[in-house]
Amino acid sequence: MTTACDKIQNNPKYHELVHKRTVFAWTLTLVMLVIYFGFIFLIAYGKAFLGESLSGGVTTIGLPIGVGVILSAILLTGIYVRRANGEFDELNRQIIEESV
């Protein structure tokens, strides 16, 4: 006798969902790591560049770049949520319907 759990695990759409979600999550993770560590390396090796004034005042180039790092994390989270609520949830719904 096959259970609902067995039906789900044997469903090709389940494997598709797991694969797509894993690849997408790792891709976004890699993008965020490149952005974050790029900023850290810039701090370590480009202090003079980051310390330059933007317009002759006290605001330096490093400030908008740092804000950009934070905003990129928010943006990447939003991209993941949008895809998860769309494509991934639809696949999940189909899998559940087929397993009942």
pLDDT digits (tens, 9 = 90+) for 41-77: 999 999 999 999 998 889 999 999 999 999 999 999 9
Which tokens in the block code for residue 50? 């980051």
* 2 domain residue, yes or no: no
Alpha carbon distances (Å) from 83 to 8, 42, 70: 21, 31, 21
- Number of compact structural domains in the chain: 1
Q: What is the pTM of this model?
A: 0.84
* 17 domain residue, yes or no: yes
* 5 domain residue, yes or no: no
* 6 domain residue, yes or no: no
Say what percent of the chain tops pLDDT 90.
78
* 26 domain residue, yes or no: yes
Is residue 92 within 8 A of residue 17, CB to CB? The reply is yes
Which tokens in the block code for residue 14? 């389940």
Domain of residue 20, residue span: 11-99
